[in-house]
Structures are given as structure tokens and as C-alpha cells.
Structure 1
């Protein structure tokens, strides 16, 4: 099963993972955000639903993603582009989009405000 991990990470943490990957240590698939607020801004409830619809499926057109999620094409178009910009979705040479994972793991810790 291919899993994408969404995390909150500093630039240093992202750099550490990248260096370890260059040295041959498998790091898994990550998309990291600078803050929890940014994660929630990108990952709206409708976008979570869209990812659930697309998980484990073949690449599809935006129109097909809208049909499968029972949503308006224009709204799905906006969500797809936000997820492409964040590096969560991929676009093929044929223009179709995919979420090439079977699962999402969200990894962050909330702490008391200073």
C-alpha cells in the first residue's frame, strides 16, 4: 500500500529527510507544511473528500473526478489545482490527474502555546 504522509516540518527537517534520501535511505512519500494553519488552509473538507474519491484509482479527468464526487466541475477544478500546487495530486502528460496513493497519514503534534 502506498501512503502519503502530510506533516508539519521545518525547513531543517525537510532538508534532513532530503539528505537521507540522497544517501539512499527510504523516507517514504511526504508533503510537508510550514504550519498547521497552512495544512488546514490547503486541506479543506471538500479536498479531503476528493482525495478519498481518487485514492487508489487510475488517473482521471477533472470532469470525471467531479462526477465521482458528485460535485460541480468548476469547484472541483479549483480544488484540483490547489492540490496540484501543493504537490498532493499529479498531472499526467495527457492532462489527467491522479492521487497515486492508497492512503494518507497525517503526522503532527499540537503543543501548548508559548
Structure 2
């Protein structure tokens, strides 16, 4: 959440994404061990554009927008609301849960907490 109260997630598309993420984690770890305050970050890294597009498809984007407006009681309910096949919606929810864009509570209720998802695409290393 930023200072305006908006809950954000940043997607970074860059060569060496795994190394960059590991560097950020290592730096935060060292700072915490040294007793320094560590600012939380919420970045999601992809190695290239095609990797991002494979995960954030148009149907998944539609699913995220729908959940942001109206959380769903279950995958079955969400599939009815979207007019889509239950199996495909389940696959999409699982993929989006794995990267932290969809939340599922203990009762199976689905939601998307982010107000904004921004992306940075680096063309030069």
C-alpha cells in the first residue's frame, strides 16, 4: 500500500529477473540482520515479455478485474459469473494464486486485493 492508501503490485519484466529478485532479498536480509528497518516491497518478476503474457492472459486479466469488483464465493460461482468453463477458471485461479494476485480464504472465497498493478519492461540490460 502506498501513502495514498492504494494497494499496488509491481510487475518487472527484465533479463536477469531471478538474479535481481535474489539480490533484493539478500539486501533486505542483511539490513534486517543489522537491525535496520527494511521497507517491504511487492514485486513480481518475469524474465521476458512472453513469460508475462503466458501467465497474465486476457482471460486472466478479465478474471482479476471481476474479482476486484466482486469477490466470488467459489471457483464454480466465479465461472458462472464469467460465463466460462469451471475447469479453465480453476486453472486460471491456481496460476494467479501461485503468483500472489488472487487470494482464497479458508472457505474458498476468492478475491483480488490490488487496486493497481503496474509493470516495468526493461529493454536494455
Task: Normalising by structure 2, report the TM-score.
Answer: 0.71
Match of 2:25 among 3, 10, 18: 18
Aligned equivalents of 1:60 and 1:105: distance in 2?
27
**What CA RMSD, in Å, does the superposition of the two structures yield over aligned residues?**
2.3
| Structure 1: gaps of 5 or more residues | none
State the number of aligned residues: 111
The answer to whether the 8 A contact 2:71-2:109 is kept is: no
Larger Rg: 2
Tell me whether 99-108 or 59-68 shows the greater mean CA deviation: 59-68
More deviation, 15-24/60-69:
15-24
* Alignment match, 1:49: 62
Contact 1:20 1:27 in 2 (8 A): no
**Long gaps (5+) in structure 2:** 1-5, 32-36
CA contact (8 A) 1:60 1:96 kept: yes
Bigger mean CA offset, 3-12 vs 16-25 = 16-25
Structure 1 residues 103 and 57: CA distance shift in structure 2, 3 A: farther
41-50 vs 2-11, which moves further:
2-11
Alignment match, 2:93: 80
- Is the CA contact (8 Å cut-off) linking 1:3 and 1:103 kept in structure 2? yes
Within the alignment, does 1:100 sit opposite 2:113 as a pair? yes
